[in-house]
Amino acid sequence: MARVLHIEDDPRNRLLVRKLLSSDGHEVIDAADGLEGVRLALAQRPDIVLVDLNIPGLDGFEVTLRLRTEASLNGVPIVAITAEGDRDTSFAVGCDGFLQKPIDARNFAKQVAAYLGGRRERMMSTPDVQGERLRIQSGRIVAHLEEKVAELSAANERLREMEKLRTEFYRNISHELATPLTPIVGYLRMLMDEELGETTKAQRKALRAMDDCIRRLRSTLDNLIDVTGLETGRMRFFHKDYDFLDTVRRAIAWHADAFAERKLTMLEEFPRGPLPGYGDSDRLGRAMSQLLDNAAKFTPEGGIVGVLVRPRENAYELIVADTGAGVPKELADRIFEPFYQVDGSATRSYGGTGVGLAIARRVARGLGGDVKLLPEGAQIEGMFLGGAAFSLTVAKRAPTVVVDPNG
């Protein structure tokens, strides 16, 4: 028997039509609105479409107009079923039949069978009247589209306002947290240097733990500041002469405790220095730290993290690779999206906000380079590391006019 698509917003009417046609052996597919009806028509290719003209949103007239533009649905009869509606206008937009509600339950299946058998109805009015009806209906469709455009414009304006508020929040919270942190760092350093008196072994151990926590907090604050740059599409760079190799070593030293805590073996393959460069070494160091932090989080305890540095013709490259699970190919692009996280369980175990790789890429691009995922792992110090492997490149001399690093 036939496959019937019924587009109707009232569930009681859908149930009645289903019962009447199913008892006659037909397969009935239901759609509660116009958009769903169009989608099902294209996906299921029914033998007949029954559509209520007054469904909310995309109404029956617009549904019919859309379906009549689809070559795959040529020859499929469309029958309007409605309590209110214009018979001639429904024919004008492409309907082949018109059934008035309430439907005649005794004869409904026979009426549908007639349309399936080739029955077609035609407009009874003159061409002038038909044209006027079409103009009225076209005007109604245009008005509906204009209303939707206005709604979308208002929604976009609200989104822009929310983005502005979020950026202000990041900026303000970074300032409010950084201000009281400054004296805390100062007094902690004085205690660690025993400028305020001698400390016991237990006290020194506690102070080192506090120092580690504060460094993590400072790193989070730096990320918040960088996120503000991501949100606005503007990152400020302060260039100066620096040594690329020295910046790498300082970033590794920053993570020494984290590597030791997880019993990670460190492989280093460095050229002979120095490697002079010109750029924002502070931001570059934080970008390097993001890659090292990522490796520390996602490499199993006792695993290996490798760091390779090699000069290019006009650039320097840093490769950070590990023996972790790696990144699925289908997520290779998404991991650079702000706040996207591949593995929620790892993030819960080791912390993180999902902005590290996004920040590292923006910084590298602002310094004339990029951050990319290497799909095949990396060879470092004669050992192949098949987990995640990232390449960070920067120009030896960073551009003085920075193109938007989000591009």
Q: Is the peptide bond before 328 cis (omega within 30 degrees of 0)?
A: no
Share of the chain above pLDDT 90, in %: 36
- Whether the per-residue pLDDT at 258 is higher than 70: the answer is yes
What are the residues whose beta carbons fall under 8 Å from the beta carbon of 61, sequence distance 6 or more? Answer: 53, 89, 90, 93, 137, 140, 141
Is residue 357 within 8 Å of residue 371, measured between CB atoms?
yes
- Give me Rg for the CA atoms of the chain: 33
pLDDT of residue 403: 44
Instruction: List, for residues 281-326, the tens digit of each pLDDT value.
Output: 998 998 999 899 889 888 999 999 999 999 999 999 999 999 988 8
Mean pLDDT in residue range 318-337 = 87
Is residue 13 within 8 Å of residue 83, measured between CB atoms?
no
Amino acid found at 101: K
Residue 271 pLDDT level (bands cut at 50, 70, 90): very high
- Of 37-51, 157-171, 227-241, minimum mean pLDDT range: 227-241
What's the sign of the alpha-carbon dihedral 68, 73, 77, 82? Answer: negative
- Of 21-35, 328-342, 368-382, minimum mean pLDDT range: 328-342
- Whether the per-residue pLDDT at 171 is higher than 50: the answer is yes
Mean pLDDT in residue range 155-181 = 75
Instruction: List, for residues 44-85, the tens digit of each pLDDT value.
Output: 999 999 999 888 878 888 888 889 888 899 889 999 988 766
Q: Are strands 389-395 and 370-373 parallel, antiparallel or unpaired?
A: antiparallel
Tokens of 147: 């209303």
Q: pTM higher than 0.95, yes or no?
A: no
Mean pLDDT in residue range 329-349 = 67
Q: What is the largest CA-CA distance in the chain?
A: 105
Amino acid found at 30: D
Place of tokens 């790789």: 357
Amino acid found at 154: A
pLDDT of residue 160: 81
Angle 249-253-257 from CA coordinates, rounded to 5°: 155
- Whether the per-residue pLDDT at 231 is higher than 80: the answer is no
